[in-house]
Structure formats: C-alpha cells, structure tokens
Amino acid sequence: MGMMSVLIAMAAGLQSQPATSQPADVGAPSIAWRPSVEAAVSEARTSGRFAAVYFHNDWCIYSIRLNRETLVDPGVVVMFERFVPCRVNYDRERALVRRYRVAGHPTIVFLDGEGRAVDRFSGYMPPREFMREMNAHLEYLYDRPGLEERLKQDADDAEALNRLAVIHAERREFDTARELIARAEAVDPRDAGHVRLRAYLSFARDAESRDDKAEGLLWYGKALPAQTDPAEAAEIHLAMGHMLARRGDHAEAREHLQAVVENPAASAELRKRAGEYLDRIEQRERKMMERLLFDSSDESKGGGAASEDGKEN
C-alpha cells in the first residue's frame, strides 16, 4: 500500500459522524493554517511539501459550508497535514487573487516551494467527496513523478501503470488513463491488489454523467468483481441496475437492484432507491402487458371484420 493509500485509510478511519452545519467542537482537531502565503511557501520549500492556499470569503454560502461542514472533519484535517496550509480572503487580498488567477471561491491552489501554482480545484464538497478530491491531488503531486520515472526504467512496471492510470482517471484525464489501463491490463491481467478499481469507477461515473449506458456498464462491470467493500458494492449494483432498467434490460436490472435490497451493508437510502427502481420496472412491465393484451384484442376484432369483408389483415 502506497503512502497516499495509507493516508486516506487513516483519514477515513478518523471521519466523524455525518457533518452538520454547526462549528467544530472546542478542542477538536483543526487545520493548522499558516499566517501568510509567504510563510507557507517558505515552509513548503524547506520541508519538501506543497503549500495548499485556500481562497474563501466571509459571505459566500459555499465557503461558509466548506468551513463549517468539511474543513472541520477529522479525516480532512489529517489530509491537510501532508501540505502546508494557509487561508486567503478573496475580497481582501485581491493581489493574490490576481497573481494566482483565482476565478471564484472556494478554491484551493497548490504551490510549490518557489510559490508557483501547480494544481488547483474549486467548489464546495461534503467531507467524503472532498477527501477523495484531495487524495487525487496528493497522489498527482507527490506520487506521480516517481511513478513516471519508474516507467522510464521499465515500461512494463505493472504497479506504476496501475497507479498512474488511477491518478489520471481521478483527474478526469481519461484519454491518458485509458491508455495506461490498456497497458496495465496487458501486463497484469489479474490486478491482485485491485489497484485499478478507482480508475474503473472514475470511467464509469464519467460515462454515467454523459448517459452513455454501454460504456458505464462496461466499466462498472469491471469494477464490481474488484470491490471488496459490501457497502461500496451496493452503490455499483444500484448504478448498474438503474442503467440496465433504463436500457430496457429488466431481468438483469432486477438482479442488481435485488442485490442492493438484500445487502445489509447498503445504506437505508440505497435500499430505498433500489426498491423504488424495482417498483418502476414492475409498473412498466404491467403497462407493457396491458398494451399487448389491448393490441391483441384489437387485432382479434379487426381480424373478424376483415374476414367478413374478405380482406387480408
């Protein structure tokens, strides 16, 4: 397991109960914000880390929610320890906004030890999604260079291919990720450590967002056997069941949706949605049967009239 995988596992273990809009408890772990960008960059340079500059303001609802719900989460706090963090008020420090070309808030800009912007992302996210996004940037900034160097030394390094595919997939650099996945599958068909799972899920979610059912089912189908977490497997079953139902493959859709309903690890919300999809399938099939019976009855009546007229139906 790589350093980033260890880190995100630790962070996940420290996650609190579902976040509320209330501020963090006094004494709870908190992000150690440095006093200025200059101080953060200086520390980043001497420590070999990257600075994480959080641009926010006092009135934006998304900045407020990120502050109250996400940045106080213990798992998120742990992830920030891999960076040198500082905060910048978007409205009061316009020179920094212009220097780093920040178009909105909340935005996190990652700086190297020379103060150069090397990566960024924007928007409010709840803790779990934010941790996934942060992990993608952690791996890109800290792990990618070494993995690329390994590939230069050995073009068939399966671990490097798998991990780089994941890094690019989670950054939505899908063309590069697919090329790496194809190479990885050729040299490491088994993927015993299920490293490619995250790439498969990224491909599947992207296809789902584009309503490409065939591609989504392809990647979810690759992801499902690799997913060892029953709760996460339930999410894959639900997505596949929904897409299959919309495509008209009701029998196969029912199998996936029933797997969610019968999965004790699935959340109540997932089981409810699966039940609703199953009800819709039943309603559609009932309507189709009623239509067939109606059409059959109508043809029968038409056939009798046609025979009297001596005409073919």
Residue 160: predicted pLDDT: 96
The predicted structure's pLDDT at residue 288? 79
Q: What's the pLDDT score for residue 294?
A: 67
Q: Does residue 306 contact residue 271 with C-beta atoms inside 8 Å?
A: no
Residue at token pair 């890109």: 140
CA 281 to chain centre: 27
- Dist CA 46 CA 56 (whole Å): 26
Is domain 9-16+29-126 classified as CATH 3.40.30.10?
yes
Least confidently predicted of 9-13, 112-116, 269-273: 9-13
Query: Predicted confidence band at 301 (pLDDT cuts at 50, 70, 90)?
Result: low
pLDDT on residue 192: 83
What is the SS3 assignment for 199? helix
The pTM is what? 0.76
Domain boundaries, the chain: 9-16+29-126, 229-298
Task: State both tokens at 89.
Answer: 């008020």
Across the range 27-42, mean pLDDT stands at 91
